[in-house]
Amino acid sequence: MSNELKRGLEGVLVTESELSHVDGDVGKLVYRGYDIEELARGASYEEVLHLLWYGSLPTRGELDSFRGELESERAVDDDVLSTVRALAEADERPMAALRTATSMLSAYDAGEGGTLEEGARITAKLPTILAAFERARQGESAVDPSPDLSHAGNFLYMLTGTEPDETSEETFDMALTLHADHGVNASTFTAMVIGSTMADVCSAVTGGVGALSGSLHGGANQDVMEMLHEIDASEKGPVEWVKDARANGRRIPGFGHRVYKVKDPRARILEEKLRDLADASGDATWLEYTTAIESHLESEGLFEKGIAPNVDFYSGSVYDAMGIPMDLYTPIFAMSRAGGWVAHVNEYQEDNRLIRPRARYVGAADAAFAQIDDR
């Protein structure tokens, strides 16, 4: 057994997976062999879930059946919604509220079926929980799920009470697809560790939400938007602001990735959708800021050092253009990534081995014990 220490498990292979692959050197992401750009532009989030969970893109009939299964599970028990309202009134953080409500779902689940069936019930309910939480914060009643809208469209409808326009629904659906899976990242690994104990799927998804809530994993898109608002409130242009910020030792959020050494392919796609939203609204402020910052940092040689825009650099601007509050960005990430967590737990449990790493002990040796009165 090797005694080489790998902090953060960097470079350590823990499993084999058919679900997704990230090629950070060329900026390529695939789900089960399909390029993310083709899926994002040509398939719905429900089709992508079917691909991740069942191994193939669905036929028309299979998609209709799968959508019907998800639509039938969107409703959330009144007790869970009451807790969501109480958390909103207590000014709880959205990710913490989502984690608590997700954990509650197991109390109202009959536990029928296997991992994917339970995962489908949870995945269908997370948008309902998150939309109800935001409406409660605004002093408004929850909107019942619509049986006639897509997963993406239904969330936007429950959030606002109005059916979304075609551009917004298409863009949000695309964002869900782009965030659905991304190899064995921190939150996915957390869900897999929990799943490897043969705990229920609700526990695994709850753990994934908890891991994603950390600032080093899921919050960079909110950081980007806070930066853009700070720029907008200043008297400086975006390039001048970034120059001054870097001179003062500030890190520019949305740049750099643990795996990607070039521009994140998901960022390329969302940049295009930000252009579409800017054209539809007539407000290109965030598009102008983000593209100016990207061009400047590229000219400064950051791309050559492997520090390029990641998905968070554009996703926040896209959500903001749709009127979504900043502190919902990471919960939306969780709402999407839950599909990937379920897929990885299901795949790992097919040939399960309890995940149990070891630590190198560096503490005291041969400590002399003394009874409490002699210490």
The residues carrying an active-site annotation are: 217, 257, 312
Strand partners, 22: 29
For residues 352 and 126, give the distance between their C-alpha atoms in angstroms, rounded to a whole number.
Answer: 27
Q: Which residues pair with 31 in a beta bridge?
A: 20, 34
Residue 83 neighbours by CB under 8 Å, 6+ apart: 100, 101, 104
Whole-number Å distance between alpha carbons of 213 and 172: 21
Query: Is the Cβ–Cβ distance between 283 and 293 less than 8 Å?
Result: no
> Quick one: tokens of 51?
């691909």
Query: Phi/psi at 23 (nearest 5 deg)?
Result: -105, 95
Going by C-alpha positions, the residue among 169, 210, 216, 171 that lies closest to residue 191 is 210
In what side-by-side order are the strands of the sheet with 34-35?
A: 20-23, 28-31, 34-35
Residue 297 is inside which H or E element, if any?
helix 285-299
